[in-house]
Structure 1
């Protein structure tokens, strides 16, 4: 029988900023096991990894130059996921993980099949719903990327 390491506890998901880099505009979200926000060094590392992961150019015939980054300061490890929208309705998802024993050694985990934990999934779900509402099914019939960027998650889940 599987036993829980500890009882479920809500974690804060906080919108941190709109980060702009080389034509990209990314929503940054912080999730933390033990405080309101992830550690500053994780936020810096997420931006560094995103700079290496995001394709160039940001905007193409099938890419919008927008997405989101999750920075999760977790119990046993730190997780960074980098996501962007392309081909109208497709989400590109890349995951990096560092153990607390080796906090500067982020391993690219996407090929291992890891998608997200239950807290990270809330961000993915919110961003999916925001994309549908503002881009795919906007009441005007015209995609509104600016409105998408203005929708931001701040919740304890």
Structure 2
């Protein structure tokens, strides 16, 4: 389809990907929800999940609870079509998500390094971020009886997008 903005060429048609939940982990004193996405399977490779947890330990600020940090976050391991990605996110300042983004070659998922572009996430990763934003709003910021961190940590997202 063409319009006044031109044509967008897609490399391939959209293929839904499974977003899987891999539980709550303790990472360097932080409480982190771990998610996985894979372009080819139901879940990312175990090696990438492990590498994401390992990089989170060094990416998350220390100490976990200080000033406006709560020691709560989420991480996404994405076995994408072109790279391995790890997104490490944490809550700060009541309503802010902070993030570090890492990538590695597909054949070396353990070699995660800071991603060289200004990307913040793809449509699949942003589905998780959107869920986490809504869960934080529902269970922490707008909870009728005050913040319920346990309810936030119990809520999670799994779907094909």
| TM-score interval for Structure 1 and Structure 2 normalised by the shorter chain | over 0.9
* Partner of residue 150, structure 1: 154
Q: Is the 8 A contact 2:51 2:109 kept in 1?
A: no
For structure 2, the residue ranges without an aligned partner over 5 or more in a row are 1-6
CA distance in 2, matches of 1:21, 1:70: 14
In the superposition, the TM-score normalised over structure 1's length comes to 0.93
Q: Is the 8 A contact 2:49 2:77 kept in 1?
A: yes
Please identify runs of 4+ aligned residues in structure 1 that moved more than 6 A. none
Q: Is the 8 A contact 2:135 2:152 kept in 1?
A: yes
For structure 1, the residue ranges without an aligned partner over 5 or more in a row are none
CA distance in 2, matches of 1:90, 1:133: 14
Q: CA RMSD in A?
A: 1.4
Corresponding residue pairs, total? 155
State the secondary structure of the residue aligned to 1:15.
strand
CA distance in 2, matches of 1:144, 1:61: 19
In the superposition, the TM-score normalised over structure 2's length comes to 0.91
Shift of 1:55: 1.1
* Partner of residue 61, structure 1: 67
State the secondary structure of the residue aligned to 1:112.
coil
